[in-house]
Amino acid sequence: MTIAAETRSLIEAALDGDPALATLAVVGASPATLVGRIAPGIPASTIGGSAYYLQPPFGRETLVELVVRVQRLRWQRSAPLTPLALPPVEADLLALHQKHKRATVGFECLPGWTDLLDAVFTWLDEIASDRNWALDQIKEKYGTLRFYWHGDLPELGDAIISAAEHLSGHVCEVCGAPGSQQSWNGWWNTHCPDHKRRRSS
C-alpha cells in the first residue's frame, strides 16, 4: 500500500458518515510530498463509529491535517522499509520524553500510538509554545487515547487533542497501522486486522 492510499483509508475510516468525504483529496508519493485536503467545517455528529452530542469538537480539516502529520512521521520513521516492516516499539514511545518538553507524564498505552502522540506534541508546540499548559495524564481507555490536561491552550489546541482521541480509535495501538475498535472479553482495544487475528487465535 502507498502512503497516499493508507492515508486516504485512515481518513475515510475516521470520518465515515460525513458527507464532506466526497471532497477529500490525498496526494503524494513520500512523506515530504504527502498532502490532504477536505472541505473545512464540523463533521457530522456520527462519524467513524463515534457519536457526538450535537457535533464533534474539531473540524474535519483539523483531523485531516493530523492524519497527514501522523502518516509523515510513520513513513519517515520506517524508511527505507514500509511501516508494516518496522512498527514503533516501546523505546520509540519513551523517546518522546526527550523529544518534547511537554511530554512530562508517563504513556499508559502501547507503542502503536507513538506517531500520533509525536504529531500532537509537535503541532501543539507550534501553536502554543508560549502558553501555560501541562498534561496530567495520557492513557488508553476503552480502546482510545485520553489526554488529561490543564491550563491555557488555544481553541485549535483543544481541537487537536479531541481529534487525536477520535483518531486513536482507527490506529492500531500495537503497531500504528490503520485499525478499528472491538471488544475482547469485556476489554475494548483498537487493532489492525493482523493484530485482531493474533488476539483471537
What is the count of structural domains for the chain?
Answer: 1
Q: What is the largest CA-CA distance in the chain?
A: 49
pLDDT of residue 200: 57
Q: Which three cell numbers mark 199?
A: 488476539
Cα–Cα distance, 20 to 42 (Å, whole number): 10
Give pLDDT tens digits along the chain (201 positions): 899 999 999 999 999 999 999 999 999 999 999 999 999 999 999 999 999 999 999 999 999 999 999 999 999 998 888 898 899 999 999 999 999 999 999 999 999 999 999 999 999 999 999 999 999 999 999 999 999 999 999 999 999 999 999 999 999 999 999 999 988 777 889 999 888 776 655
pLDDT of residue 30: 95
pLDDT of residue 50: 95
Owning domain of residue 141: 3-200
pLDDT of residue 193: 87
Q: Which three cell numbers mark 187?
A: 476489554
| Cis amide linkage into residue 178, ω under 30° from 0 | no
- Contact between 181 and 188 under an 8 Å Cβ cutoff? The reply is yes
- pTM, full prediction: 0.95
pLDDT of residue 151: 94
For 88, phi then psi, to 5°, come to: -65, 150
- Contact between 153 and 120 under an 8 Å Cβ cutoff? The reply is no
Cα–Cα distances in angstroms (integers) from residue 10 to residues 53, 134, 149, 168, 172, in the given order: 23, 29, 26, 10, 11
Which DSSP letter does residue 154 get?
A: -
* DSSP assignment of 104-148: -S-EES-GGGHHHHHHHHHHHHHHHTTS-EEEEEEEEETTEEEEE
- Contact between 181 and 143 under an 8 Å Cβ cutoff? The reply is yes
pLDDT of residue 201: 53
Cα–Cα distance, 103 to 76 (Å, whole number): 21
